[in-house]
């Protein structure tokens, strides 16, 4: 049985081949704290051990000049200086001169997964994609990580490329058909090693497991093949044991990037551009994936046409980029040498420069969502009647404020490049992801929490000053009475020591009790002092106010 409201594989797009197809999935997850409170979390240090499949990726920008190629240079100079320092750090010549230091990005890679066998529909073909790499990216100061998986294939039908974009990036089903098949998800996904052996397979059809997990934990269950890639990171709400726990930040579709090389991109109809750029299900050419009114301004909202137009109306490589909330698609001609060049052409830029642009944009959004979640969690656990709860709340808010400050100065960029197309793509991604609006909301929430802590501290200090003032006023009476003109009420200087001690204790004990009582009743006594000082109240009302209520 096929998915409802999704047409069968269209015949008019089945024969059009994508000569080279790339898909990069960028899955942001929230990392749960390793400690209740403490220093900055360094989750990646938990990936050590002989049995861990993740190994830290050596920096491609090596100090060995023979290994530094033109591709690395083209990638480096594409970014502005402050972004260069963020991505690559600074070199050895900086020394101890107070430079930026090393890059705050930590990348780990696993090499056991070589291929992916994907069947989008139960009645559809099966494709074997080459898995270029599987990476896990961590960021200093920010409790988020990104699983990055890159696929590649040659000569696949356009409809199957669209279907792969639509289905492969799902982490869990939204619902199921009557026969138990998961809607909108791939029928089956298998990770294969270099020898072709199956390492893990999807379990989208196991409806009962997804229902039971969500019923018990009030959280979505992640498909088996994605959990396999994340290991030893384990789902936060599961009963699995692992050094690092994570949970979903957004809904089930991972953000994706796609590179589509066609013999004749101009042959694509408007509906084809929409399906590729928005990541919707395949359908007949000419039939829009959404209503005509909704898609009326598709080109203005989603397309970057700086290098796209009618044949011969501009110089350079024909290239179109479509950017939406969860998809960034680059389309060009397969036989164009610059577009297909994997060293310095657009294929290389797609895999490196444009990938970093997308990663930065999604890092901004994921980090802001993480900060918002931590603020909600902190306020949810606050019990103003519990002293320990209040102390823990203050520690958490101060920690969030410090981390947000670091994020704001280390990772927050409005511009990443002066190259026009890269600048346009980053700006478009920020608009589609509504990053500026989200930043304003989270910054307002952090400031509200900070203002609450500051006002609470001021209130406590005011209360303390008020009580000390009351104690001083009442102690002043005794001080004046006993020290008036320096007279001694009891001349005991020549008396025996034991008698002097008795005199001292006879004065000391009542004085301490009086001070303790004054401090205990300082709130009521302050009201009494305020009543006496109010000239608008008559003497009779003042005396009446002295009476205990």
Per-residue pLDDT of the chain (549 residues; tens, 9 = 90+): 445 445 555 545 545 899 999 999 999 999 998 876 555 678 898 888 778 899 998 766 666 677 778 888 888 999 999 999 999 888 655 554 444 568 899 999 999 999 999 999 988 899 999 999 999 999 998 999 999 999 999 999 999 999 999 999 999 999 999 888 999 999 999 999 999 999 999 999 999 999 999 999 999 999 999 999 999 999 998 888 889 999 999 888 999 999 999 999 988 999 999 999 999 999 887 899 999 999 999 999 999 998 887 655 666 678 999 999 989 999 999 999 999 998 889 999 999 999 999 999 999 999 999 999 988 888 888 887 777 887 888 888 888 888 899 999 889 989 999 999 999 999 999 999 999 999 999 999 888 887 877 777 776 666 666 666 766 766 666 665 555 444 555 666 677 877 777 877 777 777 777 777 776 766 666 666 666 666 666 666 666 665 555
DSSP 20: E
Residue 405 lies in a domain: yes
Residue 535 lies in a domain: yes
Q: Are residues 442 and 533 in the same domain?
A: no
Q: What tokens appear for 216 in the block?
A: 């018990």
Q: Are residues 373 and 449 in the same domain?
A: yes
Q: Are residues 431 and 497 in the same domain?
A: no
For 508, the domain range is 488-546
Q: Are residues 389 and 431 in the same domain?
A: yes
Residue 498 lies in a domain: yes
Number of domains in the chain: 2
Residue 101 lies in a domain: no
Residue that has been written with the tokens 């899955």 in this structure: 27
Residue 212 lies in a domain: no
Selection from 263, 189, 264 nearest residue 224 by Cα: 189
**At 49, is the secondary structure helix, strand, or coil?**
coil
**At 96, is the secondary structure helix, strand, or coil?**
coil
**Of 468, 499, 521, which marks where a domain is finished?**
468
Q: Decide if 148 contacts 133 (C-beta within 8 A).
A: yes
Q: Decide if 310 contacts 324 (C-beta within 8 A).
A: no
**At 436, is the secondary structure helix, strand, or coil?**
helix
**At 419, is the secondary structure helix, strand, or coil?**
coil
Q: Are residues 450 and 540 in the same domain?
A: no
Exposed e or buried b for every residue in 101-140, given b needs 16+ CB within 10 A?
eebbbbbbbbeebbbbbbbbbeebeebebebebbbbbbbb
Residue 295 lies in a domain: no
């Amino acid at each position: 049985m096929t998915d409802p409201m999704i047409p069968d594989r269209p015949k008019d797009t089945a024969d059009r081949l994508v000569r080279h197809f790339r898909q990069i999935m960028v899955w942001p997850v929230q990392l749960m704290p390793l400690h209740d409170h403490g220093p900055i979390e360094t989750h990646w240090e938990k990936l050590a051990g002989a049995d861990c499949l993740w190994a830290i990726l050596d920096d491609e920008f090596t100090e060995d000049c023979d290994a530094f190629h033109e591709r690395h240079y083209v990638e480096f100079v594409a970014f502005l200086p402050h972004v260069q320092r963020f991505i690559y750090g600074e070199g050895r010549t900086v020394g101890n001169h107070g430079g930026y230091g090393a890059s705050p990005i930590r990348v780990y890679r696993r090499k056991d997964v070589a291929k992916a066998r994907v069947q989008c529909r139960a009645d559809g073909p099966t494709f074997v994609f080459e898995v270029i790499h599987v990476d896990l990216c961590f960021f200093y100061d920010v409790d988020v990580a990104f699983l990055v998986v890159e696929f590649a294939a040659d000569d696949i039908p356009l409809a199957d490329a669209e279907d792969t974009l639509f289905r492969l990036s799902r982490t869990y089903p939204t619902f199921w058909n009557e026969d138990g098949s998961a809607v909108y998800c791939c029928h089956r996904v298998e990770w294969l090693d270099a020898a072709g052996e199956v390492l893990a397979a999807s379990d989208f059809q196991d409806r009962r497991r997804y229902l039971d997990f969500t019923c018990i934990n009030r959280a979505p269950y992640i498909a088996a093949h994605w959990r396999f890639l994340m290991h030893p990171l384990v789902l936060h709400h599961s009963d699995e044991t692992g050094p690092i726990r994570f949970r979903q930040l957004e809904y089930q579709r991972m953000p994706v990037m796609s590179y589509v090389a066609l013999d004749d991109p101009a042959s694509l109809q408007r509906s084809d551009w929409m399906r590729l750029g928005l990541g919707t299900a395949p359908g007949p050419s000419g039939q829009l994936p959404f209503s005509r009114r909704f898609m009326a301004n598709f080109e203005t909202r989603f397309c970057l046409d700086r290098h796209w137009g009618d044949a011969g109306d501009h110089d350079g490589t024909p290239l179109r980029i479509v950017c939406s909330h969860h998809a960034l698609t680059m389309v060009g001609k397969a036989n164009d040498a610059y577009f297909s060049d994997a060293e310095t052409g657009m294929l290389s830029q797609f895999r490196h420069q444009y990938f970093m642009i997308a990663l930065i944009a999604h890092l901004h959004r994921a980090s802001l969502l993480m900060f918002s979640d931590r603020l909600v969690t902190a306020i949810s656990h606050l019990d103003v009647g519990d002293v320990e709860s209040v102390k823990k709340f203050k520690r958490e808010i101060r920690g969030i404020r410090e981390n947000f400050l670091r994020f704001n100065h280390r990772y927050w960029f409005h511009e990443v490049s002066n190259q026009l197309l890269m600048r346009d793509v980053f700006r478009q991604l920020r608009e589609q992801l509504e990053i500026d609006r989200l930043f304003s909301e989270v910054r307002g929430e952090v400031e509200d929490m900070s203002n609450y802590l500051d006002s609470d501290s001021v209130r406590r200090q005011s209360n303390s000053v008020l009580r000390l003032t009351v104690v001083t006023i009442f102690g002043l009476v005794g001080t004046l009475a006993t020290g008036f003109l320096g007279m001694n009420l009891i001349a005991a200087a020549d008396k025996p020591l034991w008698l002097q001690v008795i005199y001292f204790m006879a004065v000391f004990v009542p004085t301490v009790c009086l001070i303790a009582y004054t401090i205990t009743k300082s709130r009521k006594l302050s009201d009494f002092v305020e009543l006496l000082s109010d000239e608008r109240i008559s003497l009779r009302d003042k005396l009446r106010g002295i009476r205990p209520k």
